[in-house]
Chain A
Amino acid sequence: MLENIKKYLPMELAAELEGMEGTPEELRIRYGGACSVYGGGEERRLRYTPKKEDVEAMINGLAERSLYAFMDELRRGYFSIEGGVRIGVAGRMVCEYGKITHMRDFTSINMRFPKQVKGISAAVMPFITKRRSILSTLIVSPPQMGKTTLLRDIIRRISDEGTKCAVVDERCEIWAEGEFDIGKRTDVLSACPKAVGMGMALRSLSPQVIATDEIGGDGELLAISDAANAGAKVIATAHGGDIDELMRRMFFRKLMEMGTIERIILLSDSLGRGTVERIYDNELNTVCNAPFLLKEVLTCEVYSDMRYDARGCVDG
């Protein structure tokens, strides 16, 4: 993935990245600040010092000299490119009547490289299934703990096992235009606003499960409630450090009050990134309280053993 974007980077930076070991998860470039690569939970500072014109040129290149084509996303502070790479940007907002119309004078870039780890959902499946059907689940964690990676693998698994899934991939990160395998029975609405997409999927694709990333915006509560009341299950992710923090946000308080969400998986890095810290039910009772690390389980052994009668905790 890094290979695809190297052509848009200044030669000095590209050369420095060339000699680097491991797969980076995040590349941060700040005008007047540091340029860092994050991977495996560590930050590596680069020697390259970004100039303002470099930042502008990189953004222009990454947007294929077509910033207008990404302006809807840029108003929200990011745009996604080939391979599901999310380019977060900072700069000067141009506003009209209090609304952001466009962005210019870019100063920072944060590139996030998504990855697929097949099999990591095996250990959580027993907790989020009941009598052969999936429960509406919310995956919660601070940034970069593996929410989307877990969501992607849950979709892939249930889809391959026969469940009709619809993914509303607003940021083009879950499916990434075909970059990742999300199952044989999954329909994807790419670059579609979540609230609109969930309604569309419900009406036109008759999914059993609707999945989406990072909920919490206007109109999404209603869309989730509509989906749940129409018989579809919802699997979504949200930012949050712990359950108390989450419940202090009105959106999630209401979501739980509606009874739409049946399971909450809380991820952390207590045992390393991708730790399932706790799993809660719809009344916020703990279903699993012993942290375990998500691992790649390519066979379905663990899953099938525990599939329908999970009572306690598992350790991978």
Chain B
Amino acid sequence: MKYILICVMMLAAALMGNTFITIEKKRLKNITSLIATAKGIESHMVKRNYVLIRAFYEAEGECAEVYRACAEELRRHPEMPVRAAAMSAVRSTQKVEADIGEAIAEHMEALSGASVASQIESGTETFIEKLREMQQETKEIRMKRAGTVRNLCLFAGIALGIILI
């Protein structure tokens, strides 16, 4: 019975450890979704010849809200620089972290300055590359943190179990 109790405590501790790394999980999910959104926007612009604002409005995915907010901002204030509109959209939606927000703003700026399709493609490629780097870094951080936190919780669970026994 005591051993079963120890096992339950260890399991609970390990699960608690996992909950501490949800920030990274959410970030990874956002990055994956942003990659898909960026590809979708590129397709709308290059293949369907949509203007920037329409392509942003038609964006799909978890983080599409940021692009839609930016489109709205640009529609209301046509004179506003794209970067400023993008940053305002990032702030108002609070969907992504500051560094991702910065990358989104750069991406939007690159798209708005494109005069040929290849510039849209290279702008999107640069953005996706940046996101993949962030994704890799986040994964490494998660691995490290997850391992440490899980081990700590596991030891705490064992220790607690032994004390109780």
Chain A residues whose CB sits within 8 angstroms of the CB of B79 once the complex forms = 7-8, 61
**A68 touching B78 by the CB < 8 A rule?**
no
Chain A residues whose CB sits within 8 angstroms of the CB of B53 once the complex forms = 64-66
B69-81 vs A, CB cutoff 8 Å, 1 = contact: the mask equals 0000010001100
Smallest CB-CB separation from A62: which chain B residue?
B78
Question: With the chains together, A71 CA to B119 CA distance in Å?
Answer: 12
Chain A residues whose CB sits within 8 angstroms of the CB of B78 once the complex forms = 7-8, 61
Chain B residues whose CB sits within 8 angstroms of the CB of A313 once the complex forms = none
Chain B residues whose CB sits within 8 angstroms of the CB of A60 once the complex forms = 112
Chain B residues whose CB sits within 8 angstroms of the CB of A61 once the complex forms = 78-79
Chain B residues whose CB sits within 8 angstroms of the CB of A65 once the complex forms = 51-53, 74, 82, 112
Cβ-Cβ contact count across A and B, 8 Å cutoff:
43
- The listed residue (B51, B115, B117) touching A64 by CB distance below 8 A is B51
Instruction: Determine if B63 is an interface residue (Cβ-Cβ < 8 Å).
Output: no
**B49 touching A69 by the CB < 8 A rule?**
yes
Chain A residues whose CB sits within 8 angstroms of the CB of B49 once the complex forms = 69
Instruction: Determine if A221 is an interface residue (Cβ-Cβ < 8 Å).
Output: no
The bracket for how many chain B residues form the interface is 10 to 19
Chain B residues whose CB sits within 8 angstroms of the CB of A7 once the complex forms = 78-79
A7-B78, A8-B78 given; A66·B116 CB < 8 A? no
A7-B79, A61-B78 given; A69·B51 CB < 8 A? yes
Q: How far is the CB of B126 from chain A (nearest CB, A)?
A: 16
Jot down 29 A-B pairs with beta carbons below 8 A, ordered by A: A7-B78, A7-B79, A8-B78, A60-B112, A61-B79, A63-B51, A64-B51, A64-B52, A65-B51, A65-B53, A65-B74, A65-B82, A65-B112, A66-B51, A66-B112, A67-B114, A67-B115, A68-B45, A68-B115, A68-B116, A68-B120, A69-B45, A69-B49, A69-B50, A71-B115, A71-B116, A101-B116, A103-B115, A104-B115
Chain B residues packing against A (C-beta within 8 Å):
45, 49-53, 74, 78-79, 82, 112, 114-117, 119-120
